[in-house]
Amino acid sequence: MTSRDENHIIRTSPARFGKGLVVVFAFMAIVGFFIIANWHFMLSVPPPVSVPKPSPEQTQASASGGGGSGGQAAAPPSGTISIPSGASTQGNPPYEPVKLTVKKGDAVTVVNDDNAPHTATNGAGPEDSTSGKLFDTSLIMAGKSAKIDTSTLDAGDYPFHCTVHPFMKGTLTVTA
């Protein structure tokens, strides 16, 4: 029983308090064991990749270019490299397309559709001695874009990578 000056919610016995602690620690031990036992599996599954929806401009361009003329409407000489959502997770597509061919002098737009910053820097990787000497977009924040000027490049294949995520690799081919 409780007296008038005691609150029945606060009153408990040491035995009852001990049983409560045992229940809490047993629950934590079971959950902890499950997490530790499956940790390798949880880390090996990359997050799902969502495909970005085309912008209204892209939808209009594909609708107007699909007529009987056999070609698209006149577009400025350029190419576009997209960094898809989820590219910062190894195993997902790094660039779309991974290989792009353009003519010398064309402007290449690099669009970051991911939620992490990226670059498009020439060279096979950070260990390449020519890395960043021919072109480098610097950091492209999420939702932003940058341009690569090909007017100074000779005809040939130029591997490129992301300096933030070196496993992301692609190839830019410049033709005369």
pLDDT reported for residue 68: 45
My answer on whether 37 and 87 are in the same domain is no
Whether pLDDT at 110 is above 50:
yes
What range does the domain containing 115 cover?
77-175
The predicted model scores a pTM of 0.56
The edge-to-edge listing of strands for the beta sheet with 78-83 is 78-83, 107-112, 145-149
My answer on whether 95 and 136 are in the same domain is yes
My answer on whether 113 and 34 are in the same domain is no
pLDDT reported for residue 60: 59
Higher-confidence residue of 50 and 138: namely 138
pLDDT reported for residue 56: 66
In sequence order, the 6+-apart residues with CB closer than 8 A to the CB of 161 are 120, 121, 123, 124, 125, 126, 131, 168, 169, 170
> Is the alpha carbon torsion for 12, 16, 21, 23 positive or negative?
negative
Is 114 within 8 Å of 81 (Cβ atoms)?
Answer: no
Indicate whether 142 belongs to any domain. yes
Average pLDDT over residues 66-85: 63
Paired tokens of 123: 């060279």
pLDDT reported for residue 44: 62
* Pairwise CA distance, residues 120 & 102, whole Å: 16
* Pairwise CA distance, residues 143 & 59, whole Å: 18
